[in-house]
Amino acid sequence: MKAPRFSYARPDTIAEAIALLTRFGEDARVLAGGQSLVPMLNLRIAAPSILVDINQISALNGLTVEAEKVHVGALTRHAHIESSTDVSKYLPLLALAMPHIAHPAIRTRGTFGGSCALADPAAEIPACSVALDATFVLAGPNGERRVPAQDFFQGALTTALKSDELLTGVEFPKSKPGYAAAFGELTRRKGDYAIVGVAAHGFISQARLSDLRIVIFGASDRPVRARHLESELEGKEASSECIRRAATALDADVEPRDDLHATGETRRYLTRTLASRVLSDLMKVGVS
């Protein structure tokens, strides 16, 4: 089907975009890469009367590497992040995740901010930002506010963003020496959203794991930290056997439900299996 009728504005600045969002409130929607919003319009799942196209706002685009952190502008395209040497150096977890997002032609247009603002429970970028303890920068009519990743994602397709706010960027602490990252997901077909996925980041010294952050996505209404599993492995010398045993702790971390793609029970099993694989990879990366 075709998109319903709407009016379109193309602001050049963040201030102009916020002014439009403030004026039109719930009737307006931000248009970033359009790789989720346009399908929703074409399928008539969404029918906003105003689209505020932010693609011309150059202040929202690109990566900035600072002393302690990396700032990712909301409009930075998936393809740009995928090929960035700064990302592979300072945010290796994100670099591992990017090729799993959709397909090349979709990564040309899809944006970092769009993926976060959409908050699909099975999406890769939200999971990585929770695992890396990122901070979201939101701009509205009364100025800017900062929200930790953990609080930004509030449920399926639900975030801390208000209708008059724009996500301007996401800040990540740079990965420090001794830390390793691993990522994996299960999909029916290459490029699909994950049935379940695991993002892991932690410090490895003498084959012992610490400061672990493991995030499960696709199994709940938002990316969740596997705190039980993390504490089970904290300070341990993590052999494959130890990891496999610890993975049963995941049953206390996620309670997958049935849906079109898999039953809750299948997902629970897949989550354990995948987490074991990803954590074994993490140990390998950390040791090499």
Ligand X SMILES: Cc1cc2nc3c(=O)[nH]c(=O)nc-3n(C[C@H](O)[C@H](O)[C@H](O)COP(=O)(O)OP(=O)(O)OC[C@H]3O[C@@H](n4cnc5c(N)ncnc54)[C@H](O)[C@@H]3O)c2cc1C
Which residues are CB-contacts of 119 (< 8 A; sequence separation ≥ 6)? 126, 153, 154, 155, 156, 157, 158, 159, 222
Indicate which single residue of 147, 193, 217, 254 sits in contact with ligand X (rule: CB under 6 A): 193
Closest approach of another protein to the CB of residue 43, in Å: 6
For ligand X, which stretch binds (CB under 6 A), given 101-109, 148-156, 203-211, 266-274?
101-109
What is the residue whose two structure tokens read 């899809």?
Answer: 110
Closest approach of another protein to the CB of residue 248, in Å: 33
Are 163 and 77 in contact, with CB atoms under 8 Å apart?
no
Are 167 and 154 in contact, with CB atoms under 8 Å apart?
no
Three-class secondary structure of residue 59 per DSSP: helix
- 189 makes contact, choosing from another protein, ligand X, none, with CB < 5 to 8 Å by partner type, with another protein
The residue type at 225? R
CA quadruple 39, 120, 173, 178: dihedral sign: negative
**Is 35 near ligand X (CB under 6 A)?**
yes
Closest approach of another protein to the CB of residue 156, in Å: 19
Indicate which single residue of 143, 189, 206, 241 sits in contact with another protein (rule: CB under 8 A): 189
Are 259 and 228 in contact, with CB atoms under 8 Å apart?
no
Closest approach of another protein to the CB of residue 192, in Å: 9
Structure tokens at 23: 């004026």
Closest CA to 29 of 2, 50, 46, 14: 50
**Is 33 near ligand X (CB under 6 A)?**
yes
CA distance 27 to 103: 31
For ligand X, which stretch binds (CB under 6 A), given 1-9, 114-122, 171-179, 205-213?
114-122
Q: Which of residues 65-104 bind another protein (CB under 8 A)?
A: 79, 102-104
CA distance 207 to 48: 53
Number of residues that bind another protein (CB under 8 A): 38
Closest CA to 8 of 26, 34, 29: 29
Compare residues 135 and 163 and give the one whose CB is closer to another protein. Answer: 163
Closest approach of another protein to the CB of residue 272, in Å: 27
- 111 makes contact, choosing from ligand X, another protein, none, with CB < 5 to 8 Å by partner type, with ligand X
Indicate which single residue of 6, 34, 82, 99 sits in contact with ligand X (rule: CB under 6 A): 34
State the residues that interact with another protein by CB under 8 A.
1-11, 16, 19-20, 23-24, 34-35, 38-39, 42-43, 50-53, 55, 79, 102-106, 108-109, 189-191
